[in-house]
Amino acid sequence: MNTKVESLKKIYLFQKLNQDELLHIAEKIREVHLPPRNVLYDMGEDAESMYIVKYGTLQISTSTSHGDDVNLITLGEGDHFGELPFFDDEKRSAKVEAKENSELYELRYADLHEMFSKNKEMELKFYKEVTHYYIRRLRKLTHDLAYARELRKRFA
């Protein structure tokens, strides 16, 4: 049993891929060890890879215009991050720091582009899953925003 393939199967981006497609991605993945309190990347840095958490805990944060840190989310086993610049070619929008010893799978954007140029069906599956995921996130964000506005009205 390939542990990389098993990890990939848990990630929404890869759930619709067949075994051969998963094996192909698994061949491209590189393992990265990140000790506690080490920063993987920071806001504004160039981006070349996305990551999947094999084990450990990572904190994703950003800063306000006043320099205050804002913790966005804590990630653990099976979570992924760093995929946004793959889609929009922008720089990193957050900082990622290990809270404990963490092992990550790194998947370079160049490898994804290469695989997709050779397998359009694989690319279509990937983008379809991404679309569904971001639609769910947008719906949740819309709900949360409406709730926040309602609270603001009540307590204003």
Residue 129 is inside which H or E element, if any? helix 120-155
Which residues contact residue 138 at a Cβ distance below 8 angstroms, ignoring those fewer than 6 apart? none
**Mean pLDDT over each residue of the chain, to the nearest integer:** 91
Comparing C-alpha atoms, which of 14, 39, 139, 28 is closest to residue 99? 39
Q: How confident is the model at residue 50 (pLDDT cuts 50, 70, 90)?
A: very high
Distance CA 132, CA 32 (A): 28
Q: Average pLDDT, stretch 146-150?
A: 87
Q: Please, what's the b/e burial string for 86-106 (b: 16 or more CB within 10 A of its CB; e: otherwise)?
A: beeeeebbbbbbbeeebebbb
Domain map of the chain by residue range? Answer: 3-155
Query: pLDDT tens across 80-101, in order?
Result: 899 999 999 999 999 999 999 9
Distance CA 101, CA 55 (A): 8
Fold classification of 3-155 (topology level)? Jelly Rolls (2.60.120)
Q: Is 70 exceeded by the pLDDT of residue 1?
A: no
The strand pairing partners of 61, in sequence order, are 71, 95
Q: Average pLDDT, stretch 48-77?
A: 91
Q: Is 90 exceeded by the pLDDT of residue 141?
A: no
% of the chain beyond a pLDDT of 90: 62
What pLDDT was estimated at residue 59? 96
